[in-house]
Amino acid sequence: MKKIIALLAGGTTGEWVVSVRSALTIAQNIDTELYEVYKIMMNDSGWFYEPSDSVKIDIDKNDFSLMIEGRKIKFDGVFIAIHGSPGEDGKLQGYFDMLNIPYTACNTLTSSITMNKHYTKVIVDGILNLHNAKSVHVFKGGSYSIDKINTDLKLPYFVKPNNGGSSIGMSKVKHADDLSMALEKAFNEDTQVLIEEFVNGREFSVGVFKANGKIKVLPATEVIPANEFFDFDAKYTPGATEEITPGRMSAPELEMVAQIVTDVYEKLGCRGVVRVDYFLERETGKFFFIEINTIPGQTATSFIPQQVAAMGITLKEFYTQLMKETLG
């Protein structure tokens, strides 16, 4: 008997459009012999199912159900494809926990913590072979000093919203005079901002997931942006970034990275598929943790579909493994 699955897309942030594109990839690759899928859209005006031949049908939020032609549809599980809030920060996870509906993503606590870049770095600090760039964590309206930041950190550095994704609101600061403007840009997206020293390294992104009870590491993608750094345009504009999958790493580097990202997955209590971004410092080869994304993009230009192909399995096989592990 098929499981009835809600594919939840949209959201209430600037990442809404990325979520819709991710959901399209997922919907096209779910095994319809195992799952009956309903794509549920979420935006500021509500949660709804929109059949191609009908008007929008609102979700009953009391039990996350649908009423279609007198038939009440209750879901066996939810494939969350919402990037940013409320799909990635624990809000939806808490809602589904209360309704006892399983979902594909990390649990409420892990989702909430990992949306905060600074808190995540504090937790993973101490993992063997993992390094964190020196940073300063500031709050909007707080008592931070721009002069002190410029004294404490070496230029250049990155200024980024502490919560959020897709590099929205992020800047690279090369001159001390530009810090105020970069902070203002980041504070437009969040009330907390992280300022990190630049690491001269090769950038990589790697997917990690659990299947059949075992943590598996996908082939990493090496990221060579045409822009100064891997910003929103570089992430989602075809051709704006050179992406090499599998990334160019030596056998010892591959072994080290696999150990570190597996430890990160375990220490943060992850579920489903996550993506860990990191640098390998050019001079030393040291692994510098950038961030973890607990609902990584699944668009045509996203890393996870590339890495799944490089692993030698289809997206249909990958999503089936993912859903069997997380939804039962």
pLDDT range class, residue 229, cuts 50, 70, 90: low
Annotated catalytic residue within 22, 111, 166, 205: 166
Classify the C-alpha dihedral 61-63-68-70 as positive or negative.
Answer: negative
- The pLDDT > 90 percentage for the chain reads 84
Q: Supply the pLDDT for residue 166.
A: 47
Structural domain for 230, as ranges? 112-132+199-327
Q: Supply the pLDDT for residue 238.
A: 55
Which residue, of 104, 121, 155, is where some domain finishes?
A: 104
The per-residue pLDDT for range 83-99, each reduced to its tens digit, is 988 999 999 999 999 99
**Distance (Å, rounded) from C-alpha 58 to C-alpha 16?**
19
At residue 48, φ and ψ (nearest 5 deg) are -155, 155
* pLDDT at 27 > cutoff 70: yes
321 in the same domain as 208: yes
Mean pLDDT, rounded, for 131-144? 95
Mean pLDDT, rounded, for 209-232? 84
Our answer to whether residue 166 is catalytic in this structure is yes
12 in the same domain as 62: yes
Q: Supply the pLDDT for residue 136.
A: 96
Q: Which residues are annotated as a binding site?
A: 277, 291, 293
Most confident of 45-49, 141-145, 305-309: 305-309
32 in the same domain as 165: no
229 in the same domain as 117: yes
* pLDDT at 246 > cutoff 60: yes
Provide the token pair at 142. 């707080």
260 in the same domain as 179: no
**Distance (Å, rounded) from C-alpha 52 to C-alpha 118?**
43
The CATH number covering residue 68 comes to 3.40.50.20
Q: Supply the pLDDT for residue 171.
A: 92
The CATH number covering residue 295 comes to 3.30.470.20
Q: Supply the pLDDT for residue 317.
A: 98
Annotated catalytic residue within 19, 189, 302, 325: 302
Average pLDDT, the chain: 93
Q: Supply the pLDDT for residue 116.
A: 92
Provide the token pair at 86. 């409320």
* pLDDT at 168 > cutoff 90: no
313 in the same domain as 272: yes
* pLDDT at 319 > cutoff 60: yes
* pLDDT at 251 > cutoff 70: yes
Q: Which residues are annotated as a binding site for Mg(2+)?
A: 277, 291, 293
The CATH number covering residue 165 comes to 3.30.1490.20
162 in the same domain as 273: no
> What HEC string does the chain produce?
CCEEEEEEEECCCCCHHHHHHHHHHHHHHCCCCCEEEEEEEEECCEEEECCCCCCCEECECCCCEEEECCEEEECCEEEECCCCCCCCCCHHHHHHHHHCCCECCCCHHHHHHHCCHHHHHHHHCCCCCEEECCEEEEECCCCCCHHHHHHHCCCCEEEEECCCCCCCCCEEECCHHHHHHHHHHHHCCCCEEEEEECCCEEEEEEEEEEECCEEEECCCEEEEECCCCCCHHHHHCCCCEEEECCCCCCHHHHHHHHHHHHHHHHHCCCCCCEEEEEEEECCCCCEEEEEEECCCCCCCCCHHHHHHHHHCCCHHHHHHHHHHHHHC
Mean pLDDT, rounded, for 44-67? 90
87 in the same domain as 168: no
Our answer to whether residue 228 is catalytic in this structure is no
84 in the same domain as 7: yes
302 in the same domain as 242: yes
| Range with lowest mean pLDDT among 33-37, 120-124, 234-238, 286-290 | 234-238
pLDDT range class, residue 213, cuts 50, 70, 90: very high
Q: Supply the pLDDT for residue 271.
A: 97
Mean pLDDT, rounded, for 52-64? 89
Whole-structure pTM over 0.85, yes or no? Answer: yes
142 in the same domain as 67: no
Annotated catalytic residue within 15, 189, 203, 325: 15
pLDDT range class, residue 189, cuts 50, 70, 90: confident
* pLDDT at 76 > cutoff 80: yes
> In the chain, how many domains are there?
3
123 in the same domain as 212: yes
- Residue 239, C-beta contacts closer than 8 angstroms, at least 6 positions apart: none
Which residue, of 174, 197, 220, is where some domain finishes?
A: 197
Which residue, of 148, 167, 197, is where some domain finishes?
A: 197
Our answer to whether residue 15 is catalytic in this structure is yes
* pLDDT at 141 > cutoff 70: yes
* pLDDT at 245 > cutoff 90: yes
Q: Supply the pLDDT for residue 228.
A: 60
